[in-house]
Chains A and B, each alone.
Chain A
Amino acid sequence: MEEIISIKNLYYTYISGKDRVDALRGVDLGITKGEIFGFLGPNGAGKTTTIKLLLGILLPQKGELAIFGRSPSLPAARQSVGYMPETADYYRYLTPVELLNMYGNIFGIEKSLLGGRISELLELVDIKNAAGRLMGTFSKGMMQKVSFAQALINDPDLLILDEPTSGLDPVSRKRMREVIRHLREKGKTVFFSSHELSEVELVSDRIGILDRGNLLAIGPVKDLLGGRGEGESLETFFLKIIEERA
């Protein structure tokens, strides 16, 4: 199977004056094509740092990291990547259509295709009725929907979602799950971090649990829970593994 994300012995430390925070301590991870991978961990576990490294926003200090076999710091490596950040706040003086147009242009999507793609995405995230409104007037949930739409503008082969369901109503969450499953059917790879364990359990093929920069567990949800006894929920498993380490 083609490996879309490859992380080997990855380290990252934040240094501010005399303070050192080891965000990642030798993480190894491989994600193959068509996989939905849920990335779990408590606050400060290193999830967002991993995502920033995967997007080339941060550079690895030690270890190897590749997406589609290339360093993510190369802009061309990100041509087929879609990213939805944890806190969605977009240019408040633009409308969703203008934002998607801007991003579409950056990806070099042909004008003749871009209009249709934007319309399709706005319908998908159920925000077509606000397509011409300035985003400064949007609620958090609406911004989150725009954020999801912008992540899909280039029809990405790898979709990286950071806490995608926060701020979304149940209907929108369900729709997002459906879209993620649909992407898997199309052979796309999805890497997402979340605190919503039930969400992760519902859609992930495999999960990884990160705590204080260490990957504590990795594998299919069923396998991980199977090893811990029947009937254990992901939440119980997650809490146990984090508490054991503490």
Chain B
Amino acid sequence: MRTIRAIAGSMIRELLRKKDFYVLFIFILVLLGLLSSQTFFDLEGVSRYVKDLGYSLLMLFSFIIAVTFTAKQLPSEIEARTIYPLLAKPVSRHMFILGKYFGGLVVSVITFTLFFAVYAAFYLAGGEEGSPMLLVQGYIFGVFFLCLVVALVLFFSNFLTLSANVTLSFILYMIINGFSDSFRDLALFSKGAASVLYGAIYYLLPHFDFFDLRVRLTHAWDPLATWVIAAVAVYTFVYCSILLYFAGILFGRKRL
């Protein structure tokens, strides 16, 4: 545990000492500020539009930070050769991966929390009904989402270059958010091998869409039932555990 804490701690320092985070944070702050100012015109539906767009931006920026920050961890350790003195210490390869995972996750959650606080302030000040409980659920789902994103990117790091990793992660994000349901429909309405193939794709893909509470938050629907949150938590835990297990195996076989 102390090893994971030590590795993760150095990653948090890296975030706080680099400009990327501050630039993105100020950018989203300005963007949400500008968007919220549109509500002053009292146009019907504008507040919902702001909530909708604000949530999408919040998730996208959190995703960008999580992906770019995590994806460069393994390549930069290897390129800068900082990995050698670290692995020469009593650190197993699995421990190293877990340290990088929790470091990436904590960094991503810190940024997400700050972004979410800005979003929540605009959400609650938006004038329309909005349940604070739903906001809390939105935050929890955002954290689950980042758990999955960081695990996935770290897994990809073992066999993809930095740019390929970032590109593939973005493509997956777009596909899953845009076409996840299409794979399910294709599996349901096609026959034979095609149905099996589409079904396999649907179930194997990391379902970022499970964590998307955009519509529910925008239209101020009722909060989710507890069992739904529990089911999504289990899904996240199982998926992340599998990814991290294989990330550790692949990293263990990597010739450094």
Binding site for B on A (CB under 8 A): 14, 52, 55-58, 75-76, 78-79, 81, 83-85, 87, 89-94, 98, 102-103, 105-108, 134, 147, 150-151, 160
Choose from B9, B14, B80, B86 the contact partner of A89 (Cβ within 8 Å): B80
Question: Which residues of B line the A interface, CB within 8 A?
Answer: 2-3, 5-7, 9-10, 13-14, 17-18, 80-82, 84-92, 95, 255-256
B residues in contact with A92, CB < 8 Å: 80
Q: CB distance B3 to A106 under 8 Å? A: yes
**CB atoms of A147 and B85 under 8 A apart:** yes
B14, B80, B91: the one contacting A106 at CB < 8 Å is: B91
Report which of B10, B17, B87 forms a contact with A134, defined as CB distance below 8 A.
B17
The smallest C-beta distance from B237 to any residue of chain A, in angstroms, reads: 26
Q: How many A-B contacts are there with CB distance less than 8 Å?
A: 78
- Interface pair A94/B85, CB less than 8 Å apart: no
A57 to B3, CA, bound (A): 17
Q: Which residue of A lies closest to B87 (CB)?
A: A57
* Given A98-B13, A106-B90, 13 extra CB contacts under 8 A: A75-B90, A89-B80, A90-B82, A91-B10, A93-B13, A93-B17, A105-B3, A105-B5, A106-B89, A106-B91, A107-B90, A134-B17, A150-B85
Contact, CB under 8 Å: B92 / A105: no
- The chain A residue with its CB closest to the CB of B83 is A57
Tell me which of B3, B90, B256 contacts A76 (CB under 8 A).
B90
Of A52, A75, A76, A83, which is within 8 A of B85 by CB? A83
Q: Knowing A83-B85, A89-B80 touch, does A75 contact B91 (C-beta < 8 A)?
A: yes
Residues of B within 8 A of A14 (CB): 255
Contact A107 B87 (CB under 8 A): no
Q: Which of A76, A81, A107 has the most CB of B within 10 A?
A: A107
User: A57 — which chain B residues lie within 8 A by C-beta?
Assistant: 84, 87-88, 256
Give min CB distance, A191 to chain B, whole Å.
Answer: 12
